[in-house]
Amino acid sequence: MDDMSSHYQVMEELGSGSFGVVYKAIDKTDGEIVAIKHIDLESSEDDIQEIQQEISVLATCASPYVTQYKASFLKGHKLWIVMEFLGGGSCLDLLKPGCFNEAHVAIVCRELLLGLDYLHSEGKIHRDVKAANVLLSQTGKVKLADFGVAAQLVNIKSQRNTFVGTPFWMAPEVIQQAGYDFKADIWSLGITAIEMINGEPPHASTHPMKVLFLIPKNPAPRLEGNEYSNTFKDFIAQCLTKDPDLRPSAKELLRHKFVRNAGKPEALQELIHRKQDWDGGRGETKDVKYYAESLNTMTRPEDLDDDDWVFDTVKPPPIFRPKGTDWMTFDEEENAPDPAQMLEDMHISAPPPPPKHQANSTVRRVPTDRSPSVRRANTKRRSSGVKQPLGLDLSYGNSPSTVRQFRRVSDKVPTDLNPAKHGFDENQSPKTVSTDSSSKEAQIGRRAYSKAVGMSCQEVLSTTGDGDKREAISRLAEAWSDLEMVDPEGLYHIVRIMNEKLQADSRLSTLLPSTQPDSPSRPRLVLAQNNPHLKSHRRRQSYVPEPQPQSPPSVPAQAAPGMEHTKQLSDVLYQRWSEGLRNRWGGF
Amino acid sequence: MAFFFNRGRSRQPADIVRTTKELLLRIHDSQNAPKAEEELAKQLSQMKVIVQGTPEVPPSVDQVHALVQATIQEDLLFDLSRSIHLLPFEARKDTQTVFSHILRFRPNSYAAEKDPPVISYLVHHRPEIIVELCRGYMQSQSAMPCGVILREALKFDVITAIVLYDQSSEGESAIRLSDVKPNQRQRGDGVFWRFFDWIDKSCFEVSADAYTTFRDILTRHKSLMTSYLATNFELFFARFNNILIHSDSYVTKRQSIKLLGEILLDRANYNVMMAYVESGDNLKLCMKLLRDDRKMVQYEGFHVFKVFVANPNKSVAVQRILINNRDRLLRFLPKFLDDRTDDDQFMDEKSFLVRQIELLPKEPVDRARPTRDSPSAHTAAVA
């Protein structure tokens, strides 16, 4: 098979999507500009099939209102998905300089309805409509994007139960898991319209977990105030009809006065120009990151003194493997990379950029697992060997995160996070450094890092807005990560001693949340639906990481004040999904 | 939509089917017939409305019944199945919808436990349609729609039997269900065996879809598959090892190792498993996977490797390899994927294997189990 990737000249990074990095690229055969998403399959455990599902939904769409899929192929263990390039950015990006006006919202809504009408007639539900997933072309064309959780129905009348989407935009029937259909997208569209006019969805300041209680319980959100036209208010009210049977379809809404009177999509160029001016005004020199074939972060469990297996058959002569190439292969088509650019990619001395945290990832279905086993219960951070990079959203934290079963880790992030390594010692895998430290302490140290230290750095990072502070935290996080790689034992001892000292100091020990150990089974979400004290009740029992022999009884994660409940709730929520419970939510 | 709908109602399904048939023959004869393609797309979208109704109006059982009868009378499904790659984009999807609905269709009076009438018709009278659907993997345009239809059909074991046992070449008539002889060995050139190449050689989308169908064939109908594997053991695993496990495609390799583990650990395939883990060559293959430079390949390989070690009645060949590599394994395993500290099952299994390897005797012990005549004739190339 010929190497499809050589048909594309990959250029700068456009951003890290919900799973993987998206690059701008040129199709060399016809000069067309495209967007290519790179998904590292090595970092996802069981969901290759799911990615295929997403591709098959995309590949069967052909509509001017849906981002056009072009091709997908493998390059090593990366999957490249080629899509049409949309230069205007997402509606969420365009909201940064300020809210949209009603005329703009009307245009976007009409175009979205045309897209949804197409999808729905195809038996597809998008399930994650929100401003972040609406992309604009340079000329103002509006397209639905990100089919990461879309569903293909066999029958136009069939329903779904799976709990996916992004909490703030989720329709009540999706949250209640009582069976839903296309109408769920219409609700999300209504929320998206509010998001565009107000800059954020309703309940935006509320914790996303709590929102899951509010949406089914509260009356549907409405636009209030004289600044909005009555037709707009009515349009929102129609979209946000709580009973899905009474909620109009996309086709019906296309006849609504609000969208019938909407202007041409070209008018949306104003928003794109506004964003460009805004970026310019802030003096934001775009930190352009160019594509370079990423360093291979995988390791061989190889000992220098340990040969390959001895079989009776004659051993083939060992293949000479020049040491460097394993780790430093740049793409062939990039064979004339700008040296300065390469240097920049290495970030030899520059401090690492603060890792982006993902604000809006999306809930994924729970895939079926190989065998019934404890693996399921522990899937939360199943490492697939690749170091989990800091900065990707792992807990539901307090960002308006969507919920996705697996976090597909963009390989870009670790590259950014370990710049020094690549610069100084590219031949040595992080792994080989620590191969000899497999003692119990080292294991606990690694676990402490992966379960507690790394995540707590990240949680704090995600609540920190200030740039300098973020950078300091991410540097600290990086240092922990280095320590974990080089000396997990040392890490363990630091955590242990730190904990002992905290406990020993009478003032400090009382300040820390108490850590009465939970029973080994993780907390279950017992939803007394109308129990308003749920949250505070949860807060009272602070979260304890899974019991682990000799594991330090308390780790710094718990010291982050006010974060215990989110941890707890996200954990509980996670477990709910992972067990596929879908019936306890009715009857709000 | 209402426009289409009314038109669909006013015209008899039989007319639509006849027109479609004529148009299909026309696009088959002339490569470039944009007019006919356009007209075909219209007919197919009308058929789609008949089988699935509209969001406003549910489909009428009588209309669907009439359509099903007309398609069988005109042998339309055969023409459709071999022409999907010639159809325009939307028409391919409509064909997929129409086809799937027709396969599932049961008249009101029909007993629920019986196979749907079209399924029975296919396996007894027109198995060529099933074979043509498989051949849809030869073109990327038809691969995905054919795959969806096939998987719908493969829910029925009789269809799976046709796919497994057909050995017809193109243009020949395919095997009827009554002619299936499970005890006869396969030549290895039937339609089922072509899946190996479709998975290995096609582009990513086609390969992935073919793999999904292949997996369905192998895992859905246990008793059928067990007897098939028993009869064609050598041929099957030679292909599986040489083509799929050795594939250059990361996805094919990883997915097929996983599938191998699933097949072997399925209780229904106990005898297949015992035969597989007797072979030293199969063990060598797995041990190489443990040293692959991709972690997920190592990990999937481990789940096959463990079966060899855990087997209490290891063949002499397997014992010899394990004993010769005992020290290496005991150095290797403790560090193998040692960052999977969350994965309790994996850690447990790993330490179990270490214990088993420690307990191995100094020299292989022949437990006088009858070995298969040539368990590795086909897999020798692997080493």
| pLDDT at A447 exceeding the cut of 50 | yes
Per-residue pLDDT tens over the stretch B97-130: 999 999 999 888 888 888 899 999 999 999 999 9
Residue A284's pLDDT is 58
For residues A327-354, average pLDDT: 41
For residues A98-127, average pLDDT: 93
Structure-model confidence comparison of residues A517 and A218, the more confident one = A218
The pLDDT-based confidence of A407 (bands split at 50, 70, 90) is very low
Residue A446's pLDDT is 78
For A72, which of B205, B291, B335 is closest by C-beta distance?
B205
For chain B, percent of residues with pLDDT exceeding 90: 77
Total H helices, total E strands in chain B? 21, 0
**Contacts across the A-B interface (CB distance below 8 Å):** 147
How far apart are alpha carbons A455 and A449 in whole angstroms? 8
> How crowded is residue A587: how many other Cβ atoms within 10 Å of its Cβ?
10
Report the SS3 class of residue A314: coil
The pLDDT-based confidence of A146 (bands split at 50, 70, 90) is confident
Residue A198's pLDDT is 94
- β-strand partners of A89: A136
The whole-chain average pLDDT of chain A stands at: 69
Give the CATH superfamily of A89-277: Transferase(Phosphotransferase) domain 1 (1.10.510.10)
Does A312 participate in catalysis according to the annotation? no
User: How many whole angstroms from its chain centre is CA A488?
Assistant: 28
Report the SS3 class of residue A572: helix
| pLDDT at A151 exceeding the cut of 90 | no
For residue A268, the 8-state DSSP code is G
Query: What topology does CATH give the domain A4-85?
Result: Phosphorylase Kinase; domain 1 (3.30.200)
Structure-model confidence comparison of residues A514 and B289, the more confident one = B289
How far apart are alpha carbons B208 and B225 in whole angstroms? 21
On whether any CB of chain A is under 8 Å from the CB of B94, the answer is: no
For A438, which of B204, B284, B338 is closest by C-beta distance?
B338
Q: Where are the domains of chain A?
A: 4-85, 89-277, 323-333+345-578
For chain B, percent of residues with pLDDT exceeding 70: 93
> How crowded is residue A81: how many other Cβ atoms within 10 Å of its Cβ?
23
Residue B157's pLDDT is 94
For B341, which of A55, A303, A443 is closest by C-beta distance?
A443
User: How many whole angstroms from its chain centre is CA A381?
Assistant: 14
> Does the beta-carbon distance from B144 to A59 stay under 8 Å?
yes
On whether any CB of chain B is under 8 Å from the CB of A152, the answer is: no
Residue B56's pLDDT is 77
Q: What is the longest distance spanned by two Cα atoms in chain A? A: 86
For residues A441-470, average pLDDT: 75
> Does the beta-carbon distance from A56 to B325 stay under 8 Å?
no
Residue B309's pLDDT is 94
> Does the beta-carbon distance from B321 to A56 stay under 8 Å?
no
For residues A569-575, average pLDDT: 48
How far apart are alpha carbons A573 and A396 in whole angstroms? 9
Does the domain formed by B232-383 have CATH 1.25.10.10?
A: yes
> Does the beta-carbon distance from B343 to A55 stay under 8 Å?
no
Active-site option among A93, A128, A181, A411: A128
- β-strand partners of A83: A35, A69
A503 and A515 Cβ atoms separated by less than 8 Å: no
Ranges A375-389, B16-30, B33-47, B65-79: which has the least confidence: A375-389
Outline where B180-249 has alpha helix (H). 191-201, 204-219, 222-231, 233-239
Residue of B nearest to A434 (CA): B335
How far apart are alpha carbons A403 and A387 in whole angstroms? 21
Residue A454: which of A556, A542, A535 has the closest Cα? Answer: A556
Identify the residue whose tokens are 């909620």. A247
Identify the residue whose tokens are 């996805």. B251
To the nearest whole angstrom, how far is the Cα of B287 from the nearest Cα of chain A? 8
> How crowded is residue B163: how many other Cβ atoms within 10 Å of its Cβ?
25
> Does the beta-carbon distance from B345 to A375 stay under 8 Å?
yes
Q: What angle do CA B374, B380, B383 make, to 5 degrees?
A: 145
> How crowded is residue A414: how many other Cβ atoms within 10 Å of its Cβ?
25
For chain A, percent of residues with pLDDT exceeding 70: 57
Per-residue pLDDT tens over the stretch B170-186: 888 899 999 999 888 99
Q: In what order do the strands lie in the sheet with A89-90?
A: A89-90, A134-136, A142-144
How far apart are alpha carbons A194 and B273 in whole angstroms? 59
Rounded CA Rg of chain A: 25
A477 and A527 Cβ atoms separated by less than 8 Å: no
User: How is residue A118 written in tokens?
Assistant: 């197409």
| pLDDT at A185 exceeding the cut of 60 | yes
On whether any CB of chain A is under 8 Å from the CB of B125, the answer is: no
| pLDDT at B256 exceeding the cut of 90 | yes
pTM of the model: 0.69
To the nearest whole angstrom, how far is the Cα of A287 from the nearest Cα of chain B? 32
On whether any CB of chain B is under 8 Å from the CB of A314, the answer is: no
To the nearest whole angstrom, how far is the Cα of A458 from the nearest Cα of chain B? 19
The pLDDT-based confidence of A17 (bands split at 50, 70, 90) is low
> Does the beta-carbon distance from B291 to A300 stay under 8 Å?
yes
The pLDDT-based confidence of A143 (bands split at 50, 70, 90) is very high
Binding residues of A for ATP: 37
The pLDDT-based confidence of A487 (bands split at 50, 70, 90) is confident
The pLDDT-based confidence of A325 (bands split at 50, 70, 90) is very low
A432 contact partners, CB below 8 Å, separation of at least 6: A299, A302
A386 and A410 Cβ atoms separated by less than 8 Å: no
B103 and B118 Cβ atoms separated by less than 8 Å: yes
For residue B48, the 8-state DSSP code is H
On whether any CB of chain B is under 8 Å from the CB of A2, the answer is: no
Q: What angle do CA B176, B182, B186 make, to 5 degrees?
A: 90
Structure-model confidence comparison of residues B377 and B368, the more confident one = B368
How far apart are alpha carbons B175 and A15 in whole angstroms? 54
Residue A399's pLDDT is 35
A387 and A393 Cβ atoms separated by less than 8 Å: no
User: How is residue B266 written in tokens?
Assistant: 């399925």
The pLDDT-based confidence of A435 (bands split at 50, 70, 90) is very low
The pLDDT-based confidence of A161 (bands split at 50, 70, 90) is low
What residues 467-526 of chain A have any CB closer than 8 A to a CB of chain B?
none
Structure-model confidence comparison of residues A527 and A76, the more confident one = A76
> Does the beta-carbon distance from A311 to B339 stay under 8 Å?
no
A485 contact partners, CB below 8 Å, separation of at least 6: A387, A430, A431, A433, A434
Q: What is the longest distance spanned by two Cα atoms in chain B? A: 83
Per-residue pLDDT tens over the stretch B281-334: 999 999 999 999 999 999 999 999 999 999 999 999 999 999 999 999 999 999
Ranges A375-384, A531-540, B121-130, B272-281: which has the least confidence: A375-384
How far apart are alpha carbons B348 and B328 in whole angstroms? 20
How far apart are alpha carbons B133 and B141 in whole angstroms? 12
How far apart are alpha carbons A446 and A551 in whole angstroms? 11
Per-residue HEC secondary structure of A16-80 comes to: ECCCCEEEEEEECCCCCEEEEEEEEHHHCCCCHHHHHHHHHHHHCCCCCCECCEEEEEEECCEEE
Would you call A535 exposed, middle or buried from its count of C-beta atoms within 10 A (0-12, 13-18, 19+)?
middle
B284 and B272 Cβ atoms separated by less than 8 Å: no
For B296, which of A59, A384, A431 is closest by C-beta distance?
A384
Q: Phi, psi at residue A90, to the nearest 5°?
A: -90, 160
| pLDDT at A566 exceeding the cut of 60 | no
On whether any CB of chain A is under 8 Å from the CB of B255, the answer is: yes
Q: Phi, psi at residue A199, to the nearest 5°?
A: 90, -15
A438 CB neighbours in chain B (<8 A) are 334-335, 338
On whether any CB of chain B is under 8 Å from the CB of A370, the answer is: yes
For A435, which of B265, B320, B335 is closest by C-beta distance?
B335
A79 CB neighbours in chain B (<8 A) are 204, 251
To the nearest whole angstrom, how far is the Cα of A311 from the nearest Cα of chain B? 6
Residue A291's pLDDT is 73
Residue A189's pLDDT is 96
To the nearest whole angstrom, how far is the Cα of A327 from the nearest Cα of chain B? 12
Q: What is the dihedral of CA A17, A19, A22, A28, to 10 degrees?
A: -150
| pLDDT at B380 exceeding the cut of 70 | no
Q: What is the dihedral of CA B34, B38, B40, B46, to 10 degrees?
A: 180
Residue of A nearest to B2 (CA): A251
Binding residues of A: 37
Residue A35's pLDDT is 93
A322 contact partners, CB below 8 Å, separation of at least 6: none
| pLDDT at B10 exceeding the cut of 70 | no
For B342, which of A310, A381, A435 is closest by C-beta distance?
A381
Residue of A nearest to B58 (CA): A157
Q: Are strands A89-90 and A134-136 parallel, antiparallel or unpaired?
A: antiparallel
A179 and A159 Cβ atoms separated by less than 8 Å: yes
How far apart are alpha carbons B246 and B5 in whole angstroms? 52
What residues 389-448 of chain A have any CB closer than 8 A to a CB of chain B?
431, 435, 438, 443, 446-447
Q: Where are the domains of chain B?
A: 1-105, 118-221, 232-383
Per-residue pLDDT tens over the stretch A281-294: 876 555 667 776 65
